[in-house]
Amino acid sequence: MAKRTVRQKRHKESLRQLFQAQVRAYGFQYSLKDFLKQMIVVCAGTVGIGWVFALRWPGILVVTVFTGCMLPWLVKSQFRYVYEQRRFADVVLYMEQMIYSFQKAPKIREALEDARAISSESMKAVIAKAIDHIDQARGEHIYEKAFAYIEAQYLCDRLVSLHRFLIQLEEQGGNYQAYLNILLEDIKNWNARTYMFQADMKKIRRNVLMSIGVTLLSSAIMTRMVPEDYGYTGYGIYQACISLCLMFMVFFYCMICSRLNISWLRSETKMSREQADQLYRDAFACDWRRKWMLALPWIGGFAAAGAAAGLLFGQWILAGIFLAPALMFIWKTAKTRQRALRRLEREVEKEYPDWLRQVALNLQVSTVQRAIFRTFDDAPEVLKPELKRLFHLFREYPTGVQPYNAFLDGMSLPEIQSSFRMLYGFHTTGMEDVESQIGTVMERNMKFSHKAEQLRNDDAAGTAGLLVNVPSLVGMVIIMLSMVLLIMSFSGIMGSSVTDINTTIETEI
């Protein structure tokens, strides 16, 4: 018994230390005293809500314990929310300062010193490592390895793209002012779009909280308006359902807060090569005969079971239950190519702007085809199959328009395909007016970037925006339960009254 008690204490202590370590990783200090203060407030609020809903002490205790267990999750979500905002602000400030410094003098080390002077403490520490590496390292790829310290801490495609362009400028020189202005404008637009999306996320969180508050208020009013003579709050089913609904509200709000605390830099959600290859196979090289052969046993089995249940035994409801999976297998198999193609187009729309920006930056020192070749190693996996096909066509038609017309052939992406065909014009006219050409590409790419950011934001938020009305549905369940129990209570009272009247009449007779 003593050993078990010691193990339980050690387990609780390790959980507390793990929670505090996670909070410290976000750059904050959160003591046990702070946690206890919040716990007292939360418990007092839970007890008050339980009293309003006429919960008995067992129900109040269960809801309070559950809410206390959810509190660390909620606290960690709030700290992560602030942490991700700070990281995004750090990266934007750093990138803007690096560009401003390069506009004065194209020297990476001096630009890093300027950026360090205005950065936050966490960013300063990483920049200091990069500067130390530049000062101490010898050999090749000094700048790449120095920037790797920053890129490892802040995963961001735009950051990587900027670093490579700055390295290219310092090593090869050239007329770089126009390109830096284009990059600066792109960063500012990205910053504005992200802050708009953050405002949308705040709005969703606020709407969910308001929905929960209005739902609880209306349900509580319904409960308190009922006269005590018709009271139904003592029923066990009422106590259990209200306790479950309150716990669901707490869990739902914590889930929404956690779901909306996404990384604003978001470079870690990339499609793998295996996923991209599978999408291309399903969209363009699917073995339909094999897919139907795999699906037919399931379709035939469910269809036969449904036919037997309906025709032989007259159980049409059971027949429908069996036929539904058969229809689902038919629909899923028939729509494989369409769903794969739609997802492939969506992924290309998200990744193409970042890739095209890198191509445009390479155009300063390379021909069009060479600029595209140089992006292959770091290109998104979803574009690599098309790039491989494009390189093959470049070898077959080195000066022709065919490779540019065939890019993303088979997908319904006319704006992207049109923007890529612009590169053929640069290929045929040469590099005399490269500055205006790159400006044209980047201006058009900004529109694609806006759409790509919107798609990424929608994927990141998922269905969170659609879940705002869920608390209202739970409130409807509470009100319907209250109405049913009220009718049952009223019927019981009326039945007792009728019995008393009949008893009185029989006694008088």
HEC letters along 407-453: CCCCCCCHHHHHHHHHHHHHHHHCCCCHHHHHHHHHHHHHHHHHHHH
Buried b (16+ CB within 10 A) or exposed e, 224-234: eebeeeeebbe
Per-residue confidence (pLDDT) for residue 6, from 0 to 100? 46
- Structure tokens given for 497: 């009254």
Name the residue among 56, 63, 474 with its Cα closest to residue 235: 56
CB 452 within 8 A of CB 353: yes
**Amino acid letter for position 439:** G
Give the CA-trace dihedral at 428, 432, 435, 440, to 10 degrees. Answer: -30
Amino acid at position 39, single letter: M
Q: Is 4 exposed, middle or buried (0-12, 13-18, 19+ CB in 10 A)?
A: exposed
Assessment of whether the complete model's pTM goes beyond 0.75: no
Q: Could you tell me if 252 and 316 are in contact, meaning their C-beta atoms sit under 8 angstroms apart? A: no
What's the confidence (pLDDT) of residue 94?
Answer: 92
Label residue 36 exposed, middle or buried (CB < 10 Å: 0-12, 13-18, 19+). Answer: exposed
Please answer whether residues 43 and 68 qualify as being in contact, where contact means their C-beta atoms are separated by less than 8 angstroms: yes
Structure tokens at 121: 């403490």
Secondary structure (H, E, C), 48-90: HHHHHCCCCHHHHHHHHHHHHHHHHHHHHHHHHHHHHHHHHHH
DSSP state, residue 364: T
Full pLDDT tens readout for the chain, 509 residues: 444 554 544 544 555 555 555 555 555 555 667 767 878 888 888 888 888 888 888 888 998 889 888 888 888 888 888 888 888 889 999 999 999 988 888 888 898 999 998 888 888 999 999 999 988 877 778 888 889 899 888 888 888 888 888 887 777 666 667 778 878 888 888 888 888 888 888 888 888 888 888 888 887 777 777 666 666 667 778 788 888 888 888 898 888 888 777 777 765 456 777 878 777 777 776 655 655 566 566 666 666 766 666 666 666 566 666 566 666 656 565 566 677 788 888 888 878 877 887 787 777 667 788 888 888 888 888 888 888 888 888 888 888 888 888 888 878 888 888 878 877 776 666 555 555 666 666 666 666 666 676 666 666 665 666 677 778 777 777 777 777 776 766 665 555 554 555 566 556 55
